[in-house]
Amino acid sequence: MGAHESMEHAEHAEHASGSNKRIALLIAVIALFLAFSETLGKGAQTESISKNVEASNLWAFFQAKSIRRTTVQAVAEHAKLSLGLSGDDAQKAALAKQIDDWNKAAARYRSEPETGEGSEQLAARAKKAEEARDLAMARYHHYEVASAAFQIGIVLASATIITGMIALAWVAGALALTGLAFTAIGLFAPHAVHLM
């Protein structure tokens, strides 16, 4: 091997080394983006599960209140029928007061704004929890797509170092941009693109 060939070989090795450093930097940047999307995805998944449990609990509470209200209303209606059968005025007055108390309880089971635990308030709270769950799930799906794009980008960038095919690095960069786009959609407009 002549001096000229040796120098040419050294220049080629130096160029390849510089190219490999840029690819390694690309891999590091994509890995950083992957860490962010995975963290955001895990948070969104946890939020979705939490809001689903909250909505289920609120709907169960709603059903319990509805059952109580129905039971109290049925007892009050039955007691109204007995009111006409009673001959004793004191007994009629006591029964009328009890019927009034039952009707007030039924009304309170339907709407109790001060505690937020009437069936109307519980239904509204459950619907809000479901909306929060759906939002978190939409975000989660976008972060998952972003993570997949980042992972494939890392694989392709790594393959660039082995094969020397620079086109793979360009595809890796495009996948990183795609991942960033899905991360941004998940953060700012998760319902703009419907994935699932």
**Alpha helix (H) ranges present in the chain?**
3-83, 89-110, 119-163, 166-188
Q: Per-residue pLDDT tens for 54-100?
A: 999 999 999 999 999 999 999 999 888 877 676 778 888 888 899 99
Amino acid at 188: F
Q: Per-residue pLDDT tens for 96-154?
A: 899 999 999 999 999 999 999 999 999 999 999 999 999 999 999 999 999 999 999 99
Per-residue model confidence (pLDDT) at position 92:
83
- To the question of pTM greater than 0.85 for the whole model, the response is no
- Picking from 35, 37, 56, the residue whose alpha carbon sits closest to that of residue 133 is 56
The number of CA neighbours under 13 Å toward the Cβ of 16 is: 12
User: Do 186 and 146 touch, CB atoms closer than 8 A?
Assistant: yes
User: Do 37 and 150 touch, CB atoms closer than 8 A?
Assistant: yes
Length of the chain in terms of residues written: 196
The 3-state DSSP class for residue 85 equals coil
